[in-house]
Amino acid sequence: MAKRYAVILAAGKGTRMKSKLYKVLHPVMDRPMVQHVIDQVKTVHLDKLVTIVGFGADQVEEHIGSGSEFVVQKKQLGTGHAVLQAEELLTGKEGTTIIVCGDTPLITGDTYQALFDEHEKTKAKATVLTAKAPDPGGYGRVIRNEQNEVEKIVEHKDASARERSINEINTGTYCFDNQALFRALQHVSNDNKQGEYYLPDVIGILREQSEKVSAFLTEDFNETIGINDRAALADAERILKRRINESHMRNGVSIIDPDHTYIHPEVKIEQDAVIHPGSIIKGDSVIEAAAEIGPHSEITNCYVGEETAIKQSVASDSKIGNRVNIGPYAHIRPESVISNKAKIGNFVEVKKTKLGEGSKISHLSYIGDADVGSNVNVGCGTITVNYDGKNKYLTTIEDDAFIGCNSNLIAPVTVGQGSYVAAGSTITKNVPGDALAIARARQSNKDGYAARLKNRQKD
Ligand code: UD1
Ligand code: CA
């Protein structure tokens, strides 16, 4: 099989983003846009991948990591000049080189594969990926001759009114015969409105040399959107969101309001799960069958078991079992393990806590660094006092224990199996199994005192 190479253009500053962050590092959902490009291009078998970096080179390289070779374009003199920087790594090599802009994050691996296949099948020297844009403003236009063959690409700024009326655009993605590419690049000039060396000029140059050049028109313009400003960034986010949501719905997930549901690409959701409006599910979360998320919940890197409901709550880096009820307004912080049929109710914060099967923390509590057994009832307002200002300590509550309302459990401490803690206690010592612990001031009533006090105040 012919060798395949890829060059990713990511040296530009992205002036139109008006940002301190370099354009290609702006995230689309879960990762920088250039990372989307690289991840998708890499689904095609490649013999070499080179990324051209310039503005913010260190940061861009750091993000991409070992997944690519890098070449620095010191001055951003245009996309043609950018590709020339890879000459040393690619010149003379036989094979096909795909060139992709770092700001077109939604093109899929399938489209890259189809472009390679088409290019190799037709034996063209260049095949440009094109699309029909509803509003082509800003993009390079594809100029065809009477035989409908591609003649050249004209940048928007250099285009005549007639050329601007063409809605077939250059997506900025091309396959080239590698040797022909570097030969043609020598002839690209910067004699144009922007004074830049345009890569798309290579198309016209090859045509003038009577080489075979073709276009590969994709059906879906949305896939090829180039992000130059924040409005396009929001468009990309919306398109990706819709693409992901549609694939879940086709797999049997109910999404009540797909326009207001944000599910990141790595998330797995099983059949009959229901995702309510305003929910965000991120990272490598797994949502099992018939679970209900939201309305308004944010789940990050969590496993959520079957038929579990999480309403108006935030959960991260935790494992939540089957038929658990969480919320409204609960916060499940990292390293928590919530067993089947447990309940975590209104205004409860849980951190690094194991909660056993069927246990309940129904209202207004903070339970952190705790190992709670099964069928435990944690009363309203209970606090594990886990931190002495320096270190964190563990609270253990054994099976079937009952913690009365508004108790403080000063860790390290163990409340034994089946024991009771009286409401309002501050527990500083271990409670043996089956015992009742009361740790609060004894109440004394002074008969008639209030009435006497009121009389005195009248004088
Ligand atoms: C480019 C194409 C245009 C196409 C559009 C598709 C050119 C001249 N124009 O326009 O035909 O319709 O993409 O989205 O290629 N870059 C460098 N070094 C440079 C200049 C740019 O690495 O010197 C990188 C940028 O970081 C970016 C990519 O190349 O990732 C494209 O550059 P950009 O300025 O966004 O080109 P467009 O004007 O969008
Ligand atoms: Ca662009």
**Which string of DSSP letters, residue by residue, matches 145-211?**
-TTS-EEEEE-GGG--HHHHT--EEEEEEEEEEHHHHHHHHTT----STT----TTHHHHHHHHTT-
Over residues 352-356, mean pLDDT: 98
The mean pLDDT of the chain is 97
CA distance 292 to 256: 11
Does the C-beta of 155 come closer than 6 Å to ligand 1?
Answer: yes
pLDDT at position 96 is: 98
- Taking the CA of residue 225 as reference, the ligand 1 atom at the shortest distance is 14
Does the C-beta of 200 come closer than 6 Å to ligand 1?
Answer: yes
CA distance 29 to 83: 28
Closest residue by Cα to residue 299 from 336, 248, 253, 272:
336
Over residues 444-455, mean pLDDT: 96
Does the C-beta of 321 come closer than 6 Å to ligand 1?
Answer: no
Q: Which of 156, 187, 260, 363 is catalytic?
A: 363
Over residues 165-191, mean pLDDT: 98
Does the C-beta of 44 come closer than 6 Å to ligand 1?
Answer: no
**Dihedral angle over CA of 421, 426, 428, 433, nearest 10:** 0
pLDDT at position 457 is: 86
- Taking the CA of residue 80 as reference, the ligand 1 atom at the shortest distance is 15
Residue range 99-147, pLDDT digits in tens: 999 999 999 999 999 999 999 999 999 999 999 999 999 999 999 999 9
Residue 50, pLDDT above cutoff 90: yes
Does the C-beta of 143 come closer than 6 Å to ligand 1?
Answer: no
Does the C-beta of 172 come closer than 6 Å to ligand 1?
Answer: yes
pLDDT at position 1 is: 77
Q: Are 9 and 102 in contact (CB under 8 A)?
A: yes
pLDDT at position 458 is: 82
Residue 86, pLDDT above cutoff 80: yes
CA distance 39 to 106: 11
pLDDT at position 408 is: 98
Expressed in angstroms and rounded, the spacing between residue 190 Cα and the centre of ligand 1 is: 14
Query: pTM for the full model?
Result: 0.93
Does the C-beta of 17 come closer than 6 Å to ligand 1?
Answer: no
Percent of the chain beyond pLDDT 70? 100
Residue 363 is among the residues annotated as catalytic for this protein: yes
* Number of residues that this document lists for the chain: 459
The three-state secondary structure class of 387 is strand
Expressed in angstroms and rounded, the spacing between residue 75 Cα and the centre of ligand 2 is: 17
Residue 435, pLDDT above cutoff 80: yes
Nearest CA to ligand 1 atom 10: 139
Expressed in angstroms and rounded, the spacing between residue 200 Cα and the centre of ligand 1 is: 10
Over residues 201-221, mean pLDDT: 97
Nearest CA to ligand 1 atom 28: 101
Expressed in angstroms and rounded, the spacing between residue 23 Cα and the centre of ligand 2 is: 10
- Taking the CA of residue 197 as reference, the ligand 1 atom at the shortest distance is 8
Does the C-beta of 124 come closer than 6 Å to ligand 1?
Answer: no
Expressed in angstroms and rounded, the spacing between residue 227 Cα and the centre of ligand 2 is: 6
Closest residue by Cα to residue 314 from 293, 342, 335:
293
Residue range 291-338, pLDDT digits in tens: 999 999 999 999 999 999 999 999 999 999 999 999 999 999 999 999
- Kindly indicate the confidence band of residue 397, based on its pLDDT and cuts at 50, 70 and 90: very high
Expressed in angstroms and rounded, the spacing between residue 43 Cα and the centre of ligand 1 is: 23
Ligand with minimal distance to 81 CA: 1
- Kindly indicate the confidence band of residue 345, based on its pLDDT and cuts at 50, 70 and 90: very high
Over residues 408-419, mean pLDDT: 98
The answer for 359, left when phi > 0, alpha when psi is -120 to 50, beta otherwise, is: beta
Q: Are 313 and 294 in contact (CB under 8 A)?
A: no
> Which residues hold their Cβ within 5 A of ligand 2, which is an ion?
103, 226, 228
Residue 95, pLDDT above cutoff 90: yes
Residue range 237-282, pLDDT digits in tens: 999 999 999 999 999 999 999 999 999 999 999 999 999 999 999 9
